Amino acid sequence: MEQTLLIRVTGIDQPGITAGILRILAEARAEVLDMEQVVVRDRLNLGLLIAVAEEQAPLKDLLFFGWERNLHFDFEVVDPPEDLPAPSRFAVTVIGARLGPEALGGVADAIADGGGNIERIVRLSNYPVISYELIVMGGHTDTMRKGLLEASSLHQVDIALQREGLARRAKRLVVIDMDSTLIRDEAIDLLADEVGNGAEVRSITEATMSGRHDFESALRDRVSRLAGMDVARLNAVASRIRYTPGARTFARTLRRLGYRTALVSGGFDVFAEEVRRHLGIDIAHANSLEVADGRLTGRLVGDVLDGPAKARLLEEIAAAEGIPLEQTVAVGDGSNDLEMLAKAGLGIAFNAKPVVDAAADTTLKVPYLDAILFVLGIRRQDIEAADRTDG
């Protein structure tokens, strides 16, 4: 008679444990139905689900192997696995400057309240932020999302909920905003500082990015206040651009992984091209300032690159690269990024205005752009290993 056994193995990890156990199971003509292994601080946790003839169950051989290796074996007879459709799987990414038991417990409660079961937990990073990925089986998406949003607000951590599957693992294009995303500044505000209009332009910029002004009319209004500025002063402004912490790591890692990257900005091409070149981004699109006799006229050249235009560019770039929209990621912070975030397979609001946070698939409030890599399931130790290899 065949029985199904769940075998749990714990102890200090060492080479040859898994190979030795599988060798014993092979000699007993057992069938491996499932197997998972996790090592935490050199402590092994190995689980195997096997089917084996009752008279051939290799319990003594496994116990002797465990005695030789100072391992603990636990055996349990369980029901054979049912041939049922696999439940939905989700990836929950938790990111914070500190992740204590209160925050992690709040996440676990939200998952349980939504009917999900945590299958696996993996730490993705321990600096500059701490992050974990939880793989969840089953559950009601809307209920879990609501609970996770509450946990995020209560414990001041970022939480992303995504369906786990090929679409998540196959992202190939990242389209990102520039001002207040790739860089910490709004270029139009820096330009206004040069001509003494900084305070009033900043006020318009804030209202526009929060969705209180029409983007095109507000941009043309702000650009008109730059009329007469010597174009030579653009270089002085470009030298004051401050890159968002983690921007270089973010761009470098995506490049290593073979992602295509595009900068799509409602700002200006003179700065977008400099940022593209500095970070090694593949494509850059932005608005153009009109120049006459070496000075800014206070007008723009061509159509304004606004919110709808950003969404169209995402579609066009994806089509030109042969990449389905579900394999795209969009990142932005302002109301003019809303259409782009909605169009992408994954829309990420990065330190965004409330109106953008409310609409995006995922929100990040930590000040490090490379935290987006953790949402994509990339581990910090793999990033560092690649950096060391490349020198």
Distance, CA of 275 to CA of 145 (rounded, Å): 35
Residue where the block lists tokens 């653009």: 234
The β-bridge partners of 161 are 92
Distance, CA of 281 to CA of 209 (rounded, Å)? 24
Q: Please name the residue that has the structure tokens 């070149």.
A: 277
- Structure token pair of residue 144: 């879990």
Per DSSP (E only), the strands in 54-192 are 72-78, 89-96, 117-125, 130-137, 158-163, 173-176
Give the integer Cα–Cα distance in Å for 364 and 379.
Answer: 17
Give 261's strand partners: 174
Number of other CB atoms surrounding residue 342 within 10 Å = 14
| 13, 177, 185, 361: the active-site residue | 177
What are residue 176's DSSP bridge partners? Answer: 263, 331
> Of 13, 179, 185, 189, which is the active-site residue?
179
Comparing CA positions, the residue from 4, 47, 57 lying closest to residue 27 is 57
Q: Which residue has the tokens 């995006």?
A: 360
> Is position 179 annotated as part of the catalytic site?
yes
Are 137 and 87 in contact, with CB atoms under 8 Å apart?
yes
Q: Which of 180, 216, 181, 219 is nearest to 201 (CA)?
A: 219
- Sequence-separated (6 or more) residues with CB below 8 Å from residue 284: 262, 263, 264, 265, 269, 272, 273, 275, 276
Q: How far is CA 292 from CA 234, 326, 341, 351, in A?
A: 14, 43, 36, 37
282: amino acid identity, one letter: D
Query: What is the distance between the alpha carbons of residues 110 and 27, in angstroms, rounded to a whole number?
Result: 45
Among residues 302, 277, 311, the alpha carbon closest in space to that of 223 is found at 302
Token look-up 């465990």 returns 66
Helix/strand/coil for 285 = strand
What residues contact 259, with CB distance under 8 A and at least 6 apart? 171, 172, 173, 174
The set of catalytic residues is: 177, 179
